[in-house]
């Protein structure tokens, strides 16, 4: 299924999209924000990207036929360490030349009605580094509520956690 907005198309990515996805995540700014820069072994990066492309929640954001960004949806880990199909985590990124265009706001706004219609999904959690002012503003515009702030144990940077109730 493809979701169309005024300027974009959002669809599930797969292994056929690997070359474009790898190029997108290779941007220094994208790699840093998404944590890809923490992986120094090129084979590990390829493996991680291919795992993401195999996941059903990996969605591409297209302007025309060009992949300009992605939205990743993962089931949160619930009680007992098992995936919780009622609560998802959302992360996202855009090619730097598409920043400050409203594309991510448009893409997530287009996706939300689909997520709301999925009867099992009750909420979305988003984690964002606190120095990423644009992403913080985006989550607030989309009515995500601030839940907590913490230090990321892997990268040592402050991040804020937001939640959006879908039901």
Per-residue pLDDT reduced to its tens digit, 61-91: 999 999 999 999 999 988 888 999 899 999 9
Give the count of beta carbons closer than 10 Å to the beta carbon of residue 27.
17
Tell me: pLDDT of 39 over 70.
Answer: no
Measure the CA–CA gap between 99 and 147, rounded to whole angstroms: 26
Residue 77 tokens, joined: 């880990």
pLDDT value of position 109 = 97
pLDDT value of position 113 = 95
pLDDT value of position 30 = 86
- Contact between 139 and 167 under an 8 Å Cβ cutoff? The reply is no
Note down the domain range covering 131. Answer: 2-165
| Domain of residue 45, CATH code | 3.40.630.30
Q: Report pTM.
A: 0.92
Find, among 120, 103, 107, the residue nearest to 166 by Cα: 120
* Domain total in the chain: 1
Measure the CA–CA gap between 45 and 47, rounded to whole angstroms: 5
């Amino acid at each position: 299924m493809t979701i169309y907005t005024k300027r974009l198309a959002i669809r599930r990515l797969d292994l056929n999209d690997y070359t474009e996805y790898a190029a997108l995540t290779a941007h220094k700014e994208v790699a840093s924000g998404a944590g890809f820069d923490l992986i120094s072994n090129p084979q590990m990066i390829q493996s991680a990207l291919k795992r993401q492309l195999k996941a059903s929640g990996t969605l591409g954001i297209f302007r025309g036929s060009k992949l300009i960004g992605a939205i990743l949806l993962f089931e949160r880990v619930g009680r007992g360490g098992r995936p919780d199909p009622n609560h998802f985590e959302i992360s996202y990124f855009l090619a730097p030349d598409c920043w400050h265009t409203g594309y991510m706001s448009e893409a997530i706004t287009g996706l939300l009605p689909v997520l709301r219609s999925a009867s099992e999904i009750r909420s979305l959690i988003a984690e964002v580094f606190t120095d990423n002012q644009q992403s913080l503003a985006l989550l607030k515009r989309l009515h995500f509520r601030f839940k907590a702030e913490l230090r990321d144990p892997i990268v040592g940077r402050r991040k804020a956690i937001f939640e959006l109730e879908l039901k």
